[in-house]
Structure 1
Amino acid sequence: MITTIETALCDRLSQGLGQMVNSPVVTWNVLATDIGTVFRKLPGVCVVFSGITGTKAVGSSREKYLVSGRFSVFVANYNLRSNEAVRHGGPGFEEPGCYRLIRCVRRLLTGQDLGIEVDYFRPEAVRPVAGSAFNEKAVAVYECVFSTQWVELALDNGHWPAPEVPDEPDADFAHWHGRIEKPAPWHESSRLAYTPPGAAGPVAEDIIKNRGNDDD
Protein backbone atom coordinates (compact mmCIF):
# COMPACT_ATOMS: atom_id res chain seq x y z
CA MET A 1 0.00 0.00 0.00
CA ILE A 2 2.84 2.42 0.79
CA THR A 3 4.26 2.09 -2.72
CA THR A 4 0.78 2.50 -4.20
CA ILE A 5 0.24 5.72 -2.22
CA GLU A 6 3.64 7.15 -3.15
CA THR A 7 3.04 6.43 -6.83
CA ALA A 8 -0.41 8.03 -6.74
CA LEU A 9 0.94 11.12 -4.98
CA CYS A 10 3.71 11.53 -7.56
CA ASP A 11 1.31 11.11 -10.45
CA ARG A 12 -1.20 13.71 -9.19
CA LEU A 13 1.50 16.24 -8.34
CA SER A 14 3.32 15.75 -11.66
CA GLN A 15 0.11 16.36 -13.59
CA GLY A 16 -1.10 19.21 -11.40
CA LEU A 17 2.12 21.19 -11.05
CA GLY A 18 2.96 21.00 -14.73
CA GLN A 19 5.93 23.21 -15.61
CA MET A 20 6.24 24.72 -12.13
CA VAL A 21 8.79 21.94 -11.61
CA ASN A 22 11.65 21.00 -13.90
CA SER A 23 11.12 17.25 -13.77
CA PRO A 24 8.37 14.76 -12.90
CA VAL A 25 7.67 14.37 -9.18
CA VAL A 26 9.38 11.25 -7.83
CA THR A 27 10.01 9.54 -4.51
CA TRP A 28 13.33 10.82 -3.27
CA ASN A 29 14.79 11.19 0.21
CA VAL A 30 15.99 14.75 -0.24
CA LEU A 31 17.62 14.82 3.19
CA ALA A 32 19.88 11.87 2.34
CA THR A 33 20.78 13.05 -1.16
CA ASP A 34 23.71 15.18 -2.21
CA ILE A 35 22.40 18.67 -2.78
CA GLY A 36 24.31 18.89 -6.04
CA THR A 37 22.14 16.15 -7.48
CA VAL A 38 18.96 17.89 -6.36
CA PHE A 39 20.21 21.28 -7.53
CA ARG A 40 20.22 20.26 -11.19
CA LYS A 41 16.48 19.51 -11.03
CA LEU A 42 15.16 22.63 -9.28
CA PRO A 43 12.55 23.92 -8.86
CA GLY A 44 11.46 20.45 -7.82
CA VAL A 45 9.14 18.40 -5.66
CA CYS A 46 9.62 14.92 -4.23
CA VAL A 47 7.56 12.56 -2.08
CA VAL A 48 8.80 10.63 0.96
CA PHE A 49 7.00 8.13 3.21
CA SER A 50 7.42 9.54 6.72
CA GLY A 51 6.22 6.52 8.68
CA ILE A 52 3.26 4.81 10.28
CA THR A 53 2.00 6.80 13.26
CA GLY A 54 -0.62 4.45 14.66
CA THR A 55 -2.48 1.16 14.21
CA LYS A 56 -5.73 0.11 15.87
CA ALA A 57 -8.14 -2.78 15.46
CA VAL A 58 -11.38 -2.17 13.60
CA GLY A 59 -14.15 -3.07 16.05
CA SER A 60 -13.53 -6.27 18.04
CA SER A 61 -12.06 -8.10 15.08
CA ARG A 62 -8.45 -9.25 14.96
CA GLU A 63 -8.59 -9.41 11.18
CA LYS A 64 -8.77 -5.71 10.24
CA TYR A 65 -6.57 -2.86 11.42
CA LEU A 66 -6.83 0.83 10.66
CA VAL A 67 -3.36 2.19 9.88
CA SER A 68 -2.46 5.87 10.12
CA GLY A 69 0.46 7.04 8.02
CA ARG A 70 2.27 10.23 7.08
CA PHE A 71 3.77 11.28 3.77
CA SER A 72 5.99 14.30 3.23
CA VAL A 73 6.13 16.36 0.08
CA PHE A 74 9.41 18.27 -0.16
CA VAL A 75 9.35 21.50 -2.14
CA ALA A 76 12.74 22.81 -3.25
CA ASN A 77 13.59 25.98 -5.14
CA TYR A 78 16.57 28.16 -5.86
CA ASN A 79 17.07 31.71 -7.03
CA LEU A 80 20.40 33.45 -7.34
CA ARG A 81 18.87 36.94 -7.24
CA SER A 82 17.93 36.99 -3.54
CA ASN A 83 16.81 34.91 -0.60
CA GLU A 84 13.39 36.54 -0.84
CA ALA A 85 13.04 35.52 -4.48
CA VAL A 86 13.66 31.89 -3.52
CA ARG A 87 10.62 32.00 -1.26
CA HIS A 88 8.35 34.53 -2.96
CA GLY A 89 9.21 33.78 -6.58
CA GLY A 90 9.84 36.31 -9.30
CA PRO A 91 8.46 37.72 -12.52
CA GLY A 92 9.94 34.99 -14.71
CA PHE A 93 8.07 31.83 -15.78
CA GLU A 94 10.85 29.76 -14.21
CA GLU A 95 10.55 31.47 -10.80
CA PRO A 96 7.47 30.03 -9.06
CA GLY A 97 8.92 30.41 -5.56
CA CYS A 98 8.58 28.03 -2.62
CA TYR A 99 5.48 29.62 -1.16
CA ARG A 100 3.53 29.27 -4.40
CA LEU A 101 4.65 25.64 -4.72
CA ILE A 102 3.56 24.94 -1.13
CA ARG A 103 0.12 26.39 -1.79
CA CYS A 104 -0.28 24.40 -4.98
CA VAL A 105 0.84 21.13 -3.38
CA ARG A 106 -1.66 21.53 -0.53
CA ARG A 107 -4.37 22.54 -2.98
CA LEU A 108 -3.81 19.41 -5.09
CA LEU A 109 -3.70 16.89 -2.22
CA THR A 110 -5.98 18.12 0.57
CA GLY A 111 -9.21 16.12 0.74
CA GLN A 112 -8.16 13.69 -2.02
CA ASP A 113 -8.16 9.90 -1.92
CA LEU A 114 -6.13 9.62 -5.16
CA GLY A 115 -8.50 6.98 -6.50
CA ILE A 116 -7.11 4.30 -4.19
CA GLU A 117 -8.40 2.68 -0.99
CA VAL A 118 -7.23 5.31 1.51
CA ASP A 119 -8.93 7.98 3.59
CA TYR A 120 -8.87 11.56 2.31
CA PHE A 121 -5.48 13.19 2.73
CA ARG A 122 -5.32 15.69 5.59
CA PRO A 123 -2.80 18.55 5.51
CA GLU A 124 -0.56 18.94 8.54
CA ALA A 125 2.58 20.93 9.28
CA VAL A 126 4.70 22.85 6.79
CA ARG A 127 8.24 23.51 7.96
CA PRO A 128 11.52 24.70 6.50
CA VAL A 129 14.35 22.21 6.16
CA ALA A 130 17.56 23.73 7.47
CA GLY A 131 20.99 22.90 6.15
CA SER A 132 24.21 24.73 5.39
CA ALA A 133 24.45 22.96 2.02
CA PHE A 134 21.10 24.44 1.04
CA ASN A 135 22.10 27.94 2.10
CA GLU A 136 25.38 27.81 0.22
CA LYS A 137 23.55 26.93 -3.00
CA ALA A 138 20.83 29.58 -2.57
CA VAL A 139 18.35 26.73 -2.14
CA ALA A 140 15.25 26.71 0.06
CA VAL A 141 13.52 23.46 1.00
CA TYR A 142 10.17 23.05 2.77
CA GLU A 143 8.47 19.91 4.01
CA CYS A 144 4.68 19.66 3.59
CA VAL A 145 3.26 16.88 5.75
CA PHE A 146 0.06 14.96 4.94
CA SER A 147 -1.65 12.12 6.79
CA THR A 148 -4.08 9.43 5.70
CA GLN A 149 -5.44 6.07 6.82
CA TRP A 150 -5.95 2.68 5.23
CA VAL A 151 -7.03 -0.82 6.29
CA GLU A 152 -4.62 -3.73 6.67
CA LEU A 153 -5.84 -7.33 6.89
CA ALA A 154 -4.19 -9.71 9.34
CA LEU A 155 -3.57 -13.41 8.85
CA ASP A 156 -5.69 -15.85 10.81
CA ASN A 157 -3.90 -16.83 14.00
CA GLY A 158 -1.34 -19.57 13.34
CA HIS A 159 -1.66 -19.39 9.56
CA TRP A 160 0.82 -18.39 6.86
CA PRO A 161 0.31 -16.31 3.71
CA ALA A 162 -1.55 -18.18 0.96
CA PRO A 163 -1.15 -16.22 -2.29
CA GLU A 164 -3.44 -17.22 -5.14
CA VAL A 165 -2.34 -14.94 -7.99
CA PRO A 166 1.08 -13.47 -8.90
CA ASP A 167 0.08 -9.80 -8.59
CA GLU A 168 -1.31 -9.84 -5.04
CA PRO A 169 0.85 -8.46 -2.19
CA ASP A 170 1.30 -11.83 -0.48
CA ALA A 171 2.89 -13.17 -3.67
CA ASP A 172 6.10 -11.57 -2.33
CA PHE A 173 6.40 -14.45 0.14
CA ALA A 174 6.29 -17.00 -2.68
CA HIS A 175 8.65 -15.01 -4.90
CA TRP A 176 11.30 -14.79 -2.18
CA HIS A 177 10.74 -18.36 -0.99
CA GLY A 178 9.16 -17.55 2.34
CA ARG A 179 6.87 -20.00 4.08
CA ILE A 180 3.36 -20.13 2.59
CA GLU A 181 0.38 -22.45 2.73
CA LYS A 182 -2.14 -23.60 0.17
CA PRO A 183 -5.13 -21.31 -0.42
CA ALA A 184 -8.41 -22.43 1.11
CA PRO A 185 -10.51 -24.49 -1.34
CA TRP A 186 -13.09 -22.59 -3.36
CA HIS A 187 -16.57 -22.51 -1.81
CA GLU A 188 -18.62 -24.14 -4.57
CA SER A 189 -22.04 -24.62 -2.96
CA SER A 190 -24.07 -24.43 0.26
CA ARG A 191 -26.63 -27.04 1.41
CA LEU A 192 -29.63 -25.71 3.29
CA ALA A 193 -31.98 -28.05 5.19
CA TYR A 194 -35.11 -27.34 7.26
CA THR A 195 -36.05 -29.75 10.03
CA PRO A 196 -39.19 -28.84 12.03
CA PRO A 197 -39.20 -29.54 15.77
CA GLY A 198 -39.98 -33.23 16.40
CA ALA A 199 -39.40 -34.29 12.78
CA ALA A 200 -37.25 -37.32 12.07
CA GLY A 201 -35.38 -35.54 9.34
CA PRO A 202 -35.42 -32.54 7.04
CA VAL A 203 -38.64 -31.83 5.21
CA ALA A 204 -37.09 -29.38 2.78
CA GLU A 205 -33.59 -28.83 1.49
CA ASP A 206 -31.81 -26.97 -1.24
CA ILE A 207 -28.32 -26.55 -2.64
CA ILE A 208 -27.20 -23.05 -3.58
CA LYS A 209 -24.30 -22.87 -6.00
CA ASN A 210 -21.72 -20.11 -5.83
CA ARG A 211 -22.30 -17.83 -8.81
CA GLY A 212 -18.61 -17.76 -9.51
CA ASN A 213 -18.87 -21.38 -10.63
CA ASP A 214 -21.87 -20.95 -12.94
CA ASP A 215 -21.10 -21.96 -16.49
CA ASP A 216 -23.70 -19.55 -17.85
Structure 2
Amino acid sequence: MIAIIEEAIKSRIAGAALPYKPLVATYGGEFDEGLPEVVRRFPAIWVCFAHDGPGKALAMPKRVWRFPATFVVIVAAHNLRSETATRQGAAGQVGTYAMIEDVRRLLLYQDLGLDIDELAPGRTRTLVAARLKGNAVSAFALEWHTSYDVVLGELAQPEPLMLERVALAYHLQPDDGLPDAADLVSLKGE
Protein backbone atom coordinates (compact mmCIF):
# COMPACT_ATOMS: atom_id res chain seq x y z
CA MET A 1 0.00 0.00 0.00
CA ILE A 2 2.92 2.34 0.68
CA ALA A 3 4.09 2.25 -2.95
CA ILE A 4 0.52 2.74 -4.19
CA ILE A 5 0.03 5.84 -2.01
CA GLU A 6 3.42 7.26 -3.01
CA GLU A 7 2.65 6.76 -6.70
CA ALA A 8 -0.83 8.30 -6.31
CA ILE A 9 0.63 11.43 -4.70
CA LYS A 10 3.18 11.71 -7.51
CA SER A 11 0.49 11.20 -10.17
CA ARG A 12 -1.77 13.83 -8.62
CA ILE A 13 1.02 16.43 -8.75
CA ALA A 14 2.29 15.41 -12.21
CA GLY A 15 -1.23 15.50 -13.63
CA ALA A 16 -1.85 19.06 -12.46
CA ALA A 17 -0.15 20.67 -15.49
CA LEU A 18 1.60 23.26 -13.35
CA PRO A 19 2.75 26.21 -15.50
CA TYR A 20 6.39 25.98 -14.42
CA LYS A 21 6.60 22.30 -15.47
CA PRO A 22 8.59 20.82 -12.60
CA LEU A 23 10.33 17.48 -12.64
CA VAL A 24 7.98 15.24 -10.61
CA ALA A 25 9.49 11.98 -9.36
CA THR A 26 9.93 9.73 -6.36
CA TYR A 27 12.89 10.78 -4.26
CA GLY A 28 15.90 8.53 -4.66
CA GLY A 29 18.65 10.35 -2.79
CA GLU A 30 19.13 13.11 -5.36
CA PHE A 31 20.54 15.51 -2.77
CA ASP A 32 23.18 12.91 -1.90
CA GLU A 33 24.59 13.30 -5.44
CA GLY A 34 25.67 16.81 -4.53
CA LEU A 35 23.87 20.09 -4.92
CA PRO A 36 25.51 21.15 -8.21
CA GLU A 37 24.17 18.01 -9.93
CA VAL A 38 20.65 18.17 -8.55
CA VAL A 39 20.17 21.91 -9.22
CA ARG A 40 20.07 21.20 -12.97
CA ARG A 41 16.73 19.44 -12.48
CA PHE A 42 15.02 22.40 -10.73
CA PRO A 43 12.22 23.27 -10.39
CA ALA A 44 11.50 19.84 -9.01
CA ILE A 45 9.03 18.05 -6.77
CA TRP A 46 9.93 14.71 -5.22
CA VAL A 47 7.68 12.35 -3.27
CA CYS A 48 8.87 9.79 -0.73
CA PHE A 49 7.61 7.63 2.11
CA ALA A 50 8.91 8.81 5.50
CA HIS A 51 7.59 6.30 8.04
CA ASP A 52 4.54 4.53 9.39
CA GLY A 53 3.29 2.86 12.55
CA PRO A 54 2.84 1.76 15.13
CA GLY A 55 -0.32 0.05 13.95
CA LYS A 56 -3.42 -0.44 16.08
CA ALA A 57 -6.00 -3.19 15.94
CA LEU A 58 -9.41 -1.75 15.02
CA ALA A 59 -11.52 -4.40 16.73
CA MET A 60 -11.40 -7.82 18.23
CA PRO A 61 -10.28 -10.39 17.05
CA LYS A 62 -7.57 -8.05 15.73
CA ARG A 63 -8.02 -8.95 12.07
CA VAL A 64 -7.88 -5.36 10.80
CA TRP A 65 -4.99 -3.09 11.72
CA ARG A 66 -4.70 0.62 10.96
CA PHE A 67 -1.26 2.07 10.27
CA PRO A 68 -0.63 5.81 10.35
CA ALA A 69 1.76 6.80 7.56
CA THR A 70 3.76 9.91 6.75
CA PHE A 71 4.87 10.88 3.27
CA VAL A 72 7.13 13.79 2.35
CA VAL A 73 6.87 16.03 -0.69
CA ILE A 74 10.07 17.98 -1.43
CA VAL A 75 9.81 21.17 -3.50
CA ALA A 76 12.96 22.80 -4.87
CA ALA A 77 13.81 25.81 -7.04
CA HIS A 78 16.81 27.90 -8.02
CA ASN A 79 17.27 31.46 -9.22
CA LEU A 80 20.26 33.42 -10.44
CA ARG A 81 19.19 36.58 -8.61
CA SER A 82 19.08 35.76 -4.92
CA GLU A 83 18.08 33.27 -2.28
CA THR A 84 14.98 35.42 -1.63
CA ALA A 85 13.99 35.04 -5.29
CA THR A 86 14.24 31.25 -5.00
CA ARG A 87 11.64 31.35 -2.26
CA GLN A 88 9.40 34.18 -3.52
CA GLY A 89 9.89 33.76 -7.27
CA ALA A 90 11.04 36.43 -9.74
CA ALA A 91 11.11 37.25 -13.45
CA GLY A 92 8.91 34.39 -14.58
CA GLN A 93 10.64 31.81 -12.39
CA VAL A 94 8.66 30.00 -9.74
CA GLY A 95 9.67 30.24 -6.10
CA THR A 96 9.39 27.48 -3.53
CA TYR A 97 6.63 29.33 -1.63
CA ALA A 98 4.36 29.15 -4.71
CA MET A 99 5.31 25.49 -5.16
CA ILE A 100 4.35 24.79 -1.53
CA GLU A 101 0.96 26.46 -2.10
CA ASP A 102 0.39 24.43 -5.28
CA VAL A 103 1.20 21.14 -3.54
CA ARG A 104 -1.10 22.03 -0.64
CA ARG A 105 -3.97 22.87 -3.00
CA LEU A 106 -3.47 19.57 -4.81
CA LEU A 107 -3.18 17.29 -1.77
CA LEU A 108 -5.16 18.82 1.12
CA TYR A 109 -7.79 16.33 2.31
CA GLN A 110 -7.49 14.11 -0.75
CA ASP A 111 -7.84 10.34 -0.55
CA LEU A 112 -6.50 10.03 -4.12
CA GLY A 113 -9.18 7.48 -4.93
CA LEU A 114 -7.61 5.01 -2.50
CA ASP A 115 -8.94 3.32 0.62
CA ILE A 116 -6.96 5.63 2.92
CA ASP A 117 -7.72 8.48 5.28
CA GLU A 118 -7.59 11.86 3.58
CA LEU A 119 -4.14 13.43 3.42
CA ALA A 120 -3.59 15.95 6.20
CA PRO A 121 -0.71 18.43 6.25
CA GLY A 122 2.11 18.16 8.75
CA ARG A 123 5.24 20.19 9.30
CA THR A 124 7.08 22.06 6.56
CA ARG A 125 10.85 22.20 7.02
CA THR A 126 13.66 23.98 5.22
CA LEU A 127 16.04 21.51 3.59
CA VAL A 128 18.29 23.91 1.70
CA ALA A 129 18.63 27.69 1.59
CA ALA A 130 22.00 28.42 0.02
CA ARG A 131 23.98 30.12 -2.68
CA LEU A 132 25.98 27.83 -4.94
CA LYS A 133 28.19 28.90 -7.86
CA GLY A 134 25.99 31.86 -8.81
CA ASN A 135 22.76 29.96 -8.20
CA ALA A 136 20.57 30.55 -5.20
CA VAL A 137 18.88 27.32 -4.13
CA SER A 138 15.84 26.68 -1.95
CA ALA A 139 14.19 23.39 -0.97
CA PHE A 140 11.46 22.55 1.53
CA ALA A 141 10.02 19.25 2.80
CA LEU A 142 6.26 19.06 3.38
CA GLU A 143 4.91 16.22 5.53
CA TRP A 144 1.58 14.58 4.68
CA HIS A 145 -0.22 12.23 7.07
CA THR A 146 -2.71 9.49 6.31
CA SER A 147 -3.51 5.99 7.50
CA TYR A 148 -4.34 2.74 5.79
CA ASP A 149 -5.74 -0.60 6.90
CA VAL A 150 -4.14 -4.03 6.68
CA VAL A 151 -6.38 -7.09 6.94
CA LEU A 152 -4.61 -10.12 8.41
CA GLY A 153 -4.56 -13.13 6.16
CA GLU A 154 -5.05 -11.12 2.96
CA LEU A 155 -2.16 -10.83 0.59
CA ALA A 156 -1.37 -7.49 -0.97
CA GLN A 157 -2.69 -7.00 -4.48
CA PRO A 158 -0.11 -8.17 -6.99
CA GLU A 159 1.60 -5.54 -9.11
CA PRO A 160 -0.10 -5.18 -12.50
CA LEU A 161 1.63 -7.05 -15.29
CA MET A 162 3.96 -4.90 -17.34
CA LEU A 163 3.94 -4.90 -21.11
CA GLU A 164 7.04 -6.90 -22.05
CA ARG A 165 6.70 -7.42 -25.81
CA VAL A 166 4.72 -6.01 -28.73
CA ALA A 167 4.00 -8.09 -31.81
CA LEU A 168 3.66 -6.19 -35.09
CA ALA A 169 2.17 -7.64 -38.26
CA TYR A 170 2.63 -5.86 -41.61
CA HIS A 171 0.06 -6.25 -44.38
CA LEU A 172 0.85 -5.07 -47.92
CA GLN A 173 -1.88 -4.03 -50.34
CA PRO A 174 -3.72 -5.89 -51.69
CA ASP A 175 -4.20 -7.61 -48.34
CA ASP A 176 -4.73 -11.35 -48.45
CA GLY A 177 -5.42 -11.53 -44.69
CA LEU A 178 -2.00 -13.00 -43.90
CA PRO A 179 0.89 -10.86 -42.62
CA ASP A 180 3.62 -10.23 -45.17
CA ALA A 181 6.15 -9.52 -42.40
CA ALA A 182 6.20 -9.56 -38.61
CA ASP A 183 8.28 -8.15 -35.76
CA LEU A 184 8.44 -8.90 -32.07
CA VAL A 185 9.68 -5.87 -30.11
CA SER A 186 10.94 -6.52 -26.57
CA LEU A 187 10.46 -3.58 -24.20
CA LYS A 188 12.96 -2.73 -21.49
CA GLY A 189 11.80 -2.51 -17.88
CA GLU A 190 12.58 0.40 -15.56
More helix by share: 1
Higher percent of residues as strand: 2
Q: Based on CA coordinates, which of the two structures has the bigger radius of gyration?
A: 1
**More deviation in 69-78 or 49-58?**
49-58
Number of aligned residues: 156
Question: Greater RCO between the two (CA within 8 Å, min separation 6)?
Answer: 2
Superposition CA RMSD, Å: 2.1
Q: Secondary structure at the match of 2:105?
A: helix
Instruction: Name the aligned partner's letter for residue 83 of structure 2.
Output: N
Closer, same or farther: CA 32–48 of 1 in aligned 2, 3 Å: farther
TM-score normalised by the chain length of structure 1:
0.66
Give the Cα separation in 1 of the matches to 2:90 and 2:63: 53
Offset of 1:17 from its aligned partner? 4.9
TM-score normalised by L of structure 2: 0.75
Confirm whether residue 168 of structure 1 aligns to residue 166 of structure 2. no
**For 2:61 and 2:32, how far apart are their aligned partners in 1?**
40
Q: Separation in 1 of the partners of 2:152 and 2:34?
A: 39
Over the matched positions of the two proteins, sequence identity in percent amounts to 29
SS at the partner of 1:114?
Answer: coil
Rounded Cα–Cα distance in structure 2 between residues aligned with 1:4 and 1:37: 29
Whether the 8 Å CA contact 1:53–1:70 is kept in 2: the answer is: no
Aligned mates of 1:66, 1:88 — CA distance in 2:
39
Q: Which residue of 2 aligns with 1:98?
A: 96
Report the counterpart of residue 199 of structure 1 in structure 2. Answer: none
C-alpha distance in structure 1 between counterparts of 2:131 and 2:17, whole Å: 25
Q: Alpha-carbon deviations, 1:2-57, whole Å to 9, x = none?
A: 1101110111001225232332x110134434323321110110001001143100
1:33, 1:19 → 2: CA distance? 27
| Residue of structure 2 in register with 1:66 after alignment | 66
In 1, the alpha carbon distance for the partners of 2:48 and 2:65 equals 23
| 1:143 and 2:157 correspond | no
Structure 2: gaps of 5 or more residues: 160-190
